[in-house]
């Protein structure tokens, strides 16, 4: 999209682009309203006993740097934490990781992508040896005959993608797996595919059942498996016990429906399997994503022209944000920070000794669990953890225990309101840079207007703090220079950007990583081989830890069409707020009747001492054993007051989608 002059300041205009074809959702069309919003923070703010006061940049940065130095000298570098975001440009994500490791010297850095893509990334890395959300261009979906879409409500979360699903829908092959009759599932009400409604948290069983059928009925692509994979025999043993009738008894998905889906997937050459957060945000999310990959491999999809497996990215730069150093265990180029060769290469680019680089840190929930104890200071960029993190009450309490909390943001988010300093930063139309899309395409972001007031880019802020901390290396503020350094640092890594530059991207060339110098990039991965040394994909047999679904009510959380992430931006757009002013809980009519709840009654949802009070929305589009809360709302409406700090042992993804709760009509409520 582009920004055009408008009597109110600016407006958004469409561009012809392959992935969205000029289409935007409500959030995109209204995004320009936030650029000059009256709530915008336009000068550094310091918290006092009486509230926030504006201060100069020198005063703010001098004090922040002095306090960081004092804490580091007293307690060591790892007492300082950094929490990044999947909305940062590649340049800012790269510079933030570099800043944490050589300006602060801390290993304590992670980011909110841990709440989004981590399970899919872990599964992709162990199966394929590389993690790129879609290892093919989005436009490849246009020719699909069958698409199995697991745990993603794209009609609400990324409506422009629907245009790429119309072919499969017209062929009767769009299969949507979701406990709710979501906006995407409702597209199938007049035909076009199948809606599968498993009990929450049983997606892994559904996938094991589908794989069992494919193998038992001789539908597997055996030549592909012999030529391109390892691990088939162990997979055959692991799925043998998951015959369709057993899966039906535990998931609620009819055995006949499972057989129909498995046969459809196998019978059509142009088949895709796509996963989203609904099946990944679980304590077994990595195994569930792995099971989806196993099914795709058994069918011979990855690398086949016109077919494949992929996962959808949730944040604006969810792909690029995890490639260049924000994750606790990674260096630029998707290198492992524990790899001696990777450390040597990146240290040379940064102009430091390899031995000075810290080792791996800890993932997001572990980092947040250290606040106020091992971690005394936290720098937050592009995240609002008070709303977005699970066990939100504990996170909020611990943020208040910090000796220093610095938040870079453009609004006073719920997290920023707790900060000692709030530093105003640029929005999307006010900065240069790059983003990497869900298909691995690196895209230029161009400045359209000047930022208001004293607003500065994080690149400038990090440079100024690095100077005050006497950090080694260079700290350019020009995004093109930072990108050139990123390209050098990524050279030879899985996410190799070394052949890219702002100048090349400005030429309009479609650029997909890996893009080593001297090549033209890689639009489609896996055509010839996978990224493991022997070129073969790894089939990793997985099994459910607990095959029995929750016997009571289960809370699942998710997004609305009108709002985005923690809502810190979209709750400031009148059109979006008027459409969805508050959180409501979705209940099935049968469950509501059993509980004596009517539409618009005030309802209490509780778990482990946490309680959310919201109005009831009665709908037959949800399972009777399931309730749904959107996660965009603050205060006592926060869905994450109920979710637990339970994480996947491989990816450290929190369990957002399977919380046992009690539901009751609020006492004394008058509707």
pLDDT in tens, 320-336: 888 999 999 999 999 99
User: Alpha-carbon distance 365 to 642, whole Å?
Assistant: 15
Average pLDDT over residues 111-138: 95
pTM value is 0.95
- The pLDDT assigned to 280 comes to 93
CB 639 within 8 A of CB 560: no
Q: Which of 30, 23, 162 is nearest to 564 (CA)?
A: 30
- The pLDDT assigned to 7 comes to 38
- The pLDDT assigned to 563 comes to 87
How many degrees, rounded to 5, is the angle at CA 470 between CA 468 and CA 474? 100
Match 């129909």 to its residue by tokens.
260
At 599, list the tokens.
């539409």
| Cα 395 off chain centre by | 19
Q: Which of 121, 640, 118, 565 is nearest to 364 (CA)?
A: 118
At 398, list the tokens.
């611990």
CB 27 within 8 A of CB 38: no
Give percent of the chain above pLDDT 70: 97
Average pLDDT over residues 110-136: 95
How far CA 549 is from CA of 175, 233, 251, 379, 445, in Å, comes to 22, 28, 7, 39, 45
Average pLDDT over residues 207-233: 98
- The pLDDT assigned to 546 comes to 60
- Architecture label for domain 134-311: 3-Layer(aba) Sandwich (3.40)
In this predicted structure, the answer to whether residue 5 has a pLDDT above a threshold of 80 is: no
Phi, psi of 475 (to 5 degrees): -135, 70
Phi, psi of 211 (to 5 degrees): -65, -40
Phi, psi of 598 (to 5 degrees): -110, 165
| Cα 199 off chain centre by | 23
CB atoms within 10 A of CB 233: 10
Mean pLDDT value across the chain: 93
Average pLDDT over residues 311-319: 85
Running DSSP on this structure, what letter comes out for residue 102? I
Q: Which of 151, 141, 205 is nearest to 176 (CA)?
A: 151
At 373, list the tokens.
């104890």
How many degrees, rounded to 5, is the angle at CA 305 between CA 304 and CA 311? 70
Phi, psi of 45 (to 5 degrees): -120, 140
Phi, psi of 287 (to 5 degrees): -65, -35
In this predicted structure, the answer to whether residue 6 has a pLDDT above a threshold of 50 is: no
In this predicted structure, the answer to whether residue 212 has a pLDDT above a threshold of 80 is: yes
Residue ranges of domains in the chain: 1-34, 35-115+317-506, 134-311, 553-665
Match 């920070």 to its residue by tokens.
337
- The pLDDT assigned to 3 comes to 60
Helices 203-216 and 285-298: angle between axes, nearest 10 degrees:
20
Q: Which residues of 627-643 are buried (b: 16+ CB within 10 A; e: fewer)?
A: bbbbbbbbeebbbbbbb
In this predicted structure, the answer to whether residue 523 has a pLDDT above a threshold of 80 is: yes
Average pLDDT over residues 201-222: 97
CA dihedral defined by 497, 314, 416, 576, rounded to 10 degrees? 130
Please enumerate in sequence order all residues whose Cβ is within 8 A of that of 162, keeping only pairs 6 or more positions apart, or say none. Answer: 154, 155, 184, 187
Phi, psi of 544 (to 5 degrees): -70, 140
- The pLDDT assigned to 8 comes to 43
Answer with the residue of higher pLDDT: 546 or 332. Answer: 332
User: Could you read off the pLDDT of 342-360 as tens digits, one per residue?
Assistant: 999 999 999 999 999 999 9
CA atoms within 13 A on the CB side of 274: 29
Give percent of the chain above pLDDT 90: 85
In this predicted structure, the answer to whether residue 521 has a pLDDT above a threshold of 70 is: yes
Average pLDDT over residues 607-620: 94
In this prediction, residue 446 has a pLDDT band, given cuts at 50, 70 and 90, of very high
In this predicted structure, the answer to whether residue 9 has a pLDDT above a threshold of 70 is: no
In this predicted structure, the answer to whether residue 99 has a pLDDT above a threshold of 80 is: yes
At 423, list the tokens.
């530093």
Q: Which of 417, 392, 454 is nearest to 60 (CA)?
A: 454
Domain 553-665: give its CATH code. 2.40.40.20
Counts for the chain of helices (H) and strands (E), in that order? 22, 26
Bridge partners (DSSP) of residue 586 are 617, 628
User: Could you read off the pLDDT of 15-65 as tens digits, one per residue?
Assistant: 778 777 777 777 777 888 888 999 999 999 999 999 999 999 999 999 999
- The pLDDT assigned to 549 comes to 61
Phi-psi sector, 105: left (phi>0), alpha (psi -120 to 50), beta: left
User: How many residues are listed for the chain in this entry?
Assistant: 671
Answer with the residue of higher pLDDT: 21 or 88. Answer: 88
Residue-by-residue DSSP string for 550-598: PSSEEEEEE--SS--TTSTTGGG-HHHHHHS-S-EEEE-HHHHHHHT--
DSSP H or E stretch at residue 380: strand 377-381
CB atoms within 10 A of CB 82: 27
- Beta strand 271-275 with 308-311 is parallel
CB atoms within 10 A of CB 248: 19
User: Alpha-carbon distance 377 to 395, whole Å?
Assistant: 14
- The pLDDT assigned to 32 comes to 83
CA dihedral defined by 62, 63, 65, 69, rounded to 10 degrees? 130
In this prediction, residue 552 has a pLDDT band, given cuts at 50, 70 and 90, of confident
Average pLDDT over residues 473-499: 97
User: Could you read off the pLDDT of 454-472 as tens digits, one per residue?
Assistant: 999 999 999 999 999 999 9
Average pLDDT over residues 379-405: 97
- The pLDDT assigned to 608 comes to 87
Q: Which of 619, 616, 617, 632 is nearest to 559 (CA)?
A: 632
Helices 90-98 and 479-490: angle between axes, nearest 10 degrees:
70
Average pLDDT over residues 231-238: 98
Match 């690095």 to its residue by tokens.
466
Topology classification of domain 35-115+317-506? Rossmann fold (3.40.50)
Answer with the residue of higher pLDDT: 191 or 101. Answer: 101
């Amino acid at each position: 999209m582009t920004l055009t002059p408008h009597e109110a300041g600016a407006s958004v205009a469409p561009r012809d682009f392959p992935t969205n074809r000029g289409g935007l959702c409500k959030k995109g069309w209204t995004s320009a309203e936030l650029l000059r919003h009256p709530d915008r923070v336009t000068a550094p703010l310091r918290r006092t006993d009486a509230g926030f006061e504006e201060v100069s940049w020198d005063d703010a940065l001098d004090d922040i740097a002095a306090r960081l130095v004092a804490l580091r000298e007293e307690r060591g570098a790892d007492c300082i934490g950094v929490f990044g975001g999947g909305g940062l440009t590649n340049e800012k994500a790269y510079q933030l990781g570099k800043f944490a490791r050589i300006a602060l010297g801390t290993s304590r850095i992670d980011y909110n992508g841990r709440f989004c893509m981590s399970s899919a990334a872990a599964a992709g890395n162990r199966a394929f040896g590389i993690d790129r959300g879609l290892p093919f261009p989005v436009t490849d979906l246009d020719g699909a005959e069958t698409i199995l879409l697991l745990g993603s409500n794209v009609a609400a979360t990324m409506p422009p993608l629907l245009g790429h699903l119309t072919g499969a829908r017209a062929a009767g092959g769009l299969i949507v797996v979701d406990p709710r009759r979501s906006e995407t599932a409702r597209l199938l009400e007049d035909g076009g595919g199948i809606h599968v409604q498993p009990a929450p948290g049983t997606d892994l069983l559904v996938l094991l059942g589908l794989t069992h059928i494919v193998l038992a009925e001789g539908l597997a692509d055996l030549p592909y498996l012999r030529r391109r994979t390892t691990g088939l025999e162990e997979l055959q043993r692991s799925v043998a016990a998951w015959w369709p009738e057993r899966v039906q008894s535990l998931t609620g998905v009819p055995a006949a429906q499972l057989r129909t889906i498995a046969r459809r997937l196998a019978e059509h050459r142009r088949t895709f399997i796509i996963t989203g957060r609904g099946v990944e945000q679980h304590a077994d999310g990595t195994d569930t994503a792995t099971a989806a990959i196993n099914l795709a491999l058994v069918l011979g999809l990855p690398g086949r022209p016109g077919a494949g497996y992929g996962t959808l990215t949730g944040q604006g730069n969810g792909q690029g944000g995890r490639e260049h150093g924000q994750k606790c265990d990674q260096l630029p180029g998707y290198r492992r920070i524990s790899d001696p060769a990777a450390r040597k290469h990146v240290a040379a680019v940064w102009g430091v000794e390899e031995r000075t680089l810290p080792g791996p840190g800890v993932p997001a929930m572990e980092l947040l669990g250290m606040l106020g104890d091992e971690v005394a200071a936290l720098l937050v960029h592009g995240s609002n953890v008070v709303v977005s993190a699970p066990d939100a009450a504990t996170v909020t309490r611990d943020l208040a225990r910090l000796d220093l909390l610095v938040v870079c943001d453009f609004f006073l988010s719920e997290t920023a309101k707790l900060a000692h300093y709030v530093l105003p930063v640029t929005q999307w139309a006010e900065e240069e840079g790059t983003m990497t899309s869900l298909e691995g395409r690196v895209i230029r972001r161009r400045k359209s207007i000047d930022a208001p007031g004293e607003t500065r880019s994080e690149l400038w802020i990090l440079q100024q703090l690095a100077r005050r901390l006497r950090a080694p290396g260079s700290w350019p503020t020009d995004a093109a220079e930072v990108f050139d350094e990123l390209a050098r640092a990524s050279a030879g890594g899985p996410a190799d950007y070394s052949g890219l530059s702002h100048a090349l991207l400005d030429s309009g060339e479609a650029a997909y990583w890996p893009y080593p110098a001297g090549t033209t990039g890689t639009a489609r991965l896996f055509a010839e081989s996978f990224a493991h040394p022997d070129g073969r994909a790894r089939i990793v047999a997985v099994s459910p830890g607990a095959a029995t679904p929750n016997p009571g009510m289960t809370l699942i959380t998710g997004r609305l069409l009108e709002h985005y992430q923690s809502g810190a931006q979209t709750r400031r757009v009148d059109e979006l707020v008027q459409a969805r002013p508050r959180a409501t809980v979705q209940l099935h009519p049968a469950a509501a009747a059993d509980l004596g709840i009517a539409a618009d009654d005030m309802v209490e949802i509780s778990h482990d001492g946490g309680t959310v009070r919201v109005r009831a929305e009665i709908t037959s589009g949800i399972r009777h054993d399931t309730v749904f809360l959107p996660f965009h709302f603050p205060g006592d409406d926060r869905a994450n007051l109920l979710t637990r700090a339970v994480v996947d042992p491989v990816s450290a993804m929190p369990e957002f989608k399977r919380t046992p709760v009690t539901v009751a009509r609020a006492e004394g409520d008058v509707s």
